[in-house]
Every structure is written in C-alpha cells, then in structure tokens.
Amino acid sequence: MIDAVPAEEFSLYHIAGSSSASTTIKPLNGPTIAILTSVPSSGTGIMTEKINGGGAGKTIEVKKGQVYFIAAGTTVEFGSGVEAWAAFYDDQAREQTGDMK
C-alpha cells in the first residue's frame, strides 16, 4: 500500500507482514529507507535482498526498530511476520495506485 504524504520528495510504503507468507517488494528506481516495526514473536525476522534481480541474494536476520537502506534496483523479500514502513522516491512508483507487489 502506498500512502500519500504532503511532500513531493518521497512516498511511504507500508509492508504489512503476513503471519504465513513472505512479502516481496519489486525494485524501485530510487533509494528506500525501511524501518522495521514488527517481527515474529521469536523476536527476529528475515529479509532477503537481490540487487538488480540477480542470484540468490543476501539474507539477513532483522529485529524490530532496525533501519535499513535499500539501494535502487534492489528486490527485497520480507519474511513472514515482518512489518515495516518505508520512505522512498521513485517517479514511476509514485504514479501507481494501490499495491506495489
């Protein structure tokens, strides 16, 4: 879900983590800052980055309250139960409405 904000510089994206499935965010043409607001009850979650869609990607363990910089052109998969808010700038994505999946 893309949320409009009263600023031309960026948009907000809510990654609402499903308890049973991962959520994949397609690559954007600009940078993204993601703040993790919730993880599974175990206290940690998983995030996988694939730069420019290549290879298996890099998987890291994430915790609530952590902040991540996501480079342009990076596909990100948030594991089940991970919730985040992301601020991003991407001319093409700003023109979309609804879900970015």
SS (H, E, C) the chain: CEECCCCCCCEEEEECCCCCCCEEECCCCCCEEEEEEECCCCCCEEEEEEECCCCCCEEEEECCCCEEEECCCEEEEECCCCEEEEEECCHHHHHCCCCCC
What pLDDT score was predicted for residue 25? Answer: 87
Residue 75 lies in a domain: yes
Give me the pLDDT at residue 37, please. 94
Judge whether 51 lies within some domain. yes
Tens of pLDDT, residues 69-89: 999 999 999 999 999 999 988
Q: 28-70: per-residue pLDDT in tens?
A: 888 999 999 999 888 899 999 998 766 778 999 999 999 999 9
Q: Is the pTM of this model over 0.85?
A: no
CATH number for position 28: 2.60.120.10
Domain that holds residue 51: 2-95
Whether residue 100 is contained in a domain is answered as no
Domain count, the chain: 1
- Is 97's pLDDT higher than 50? no
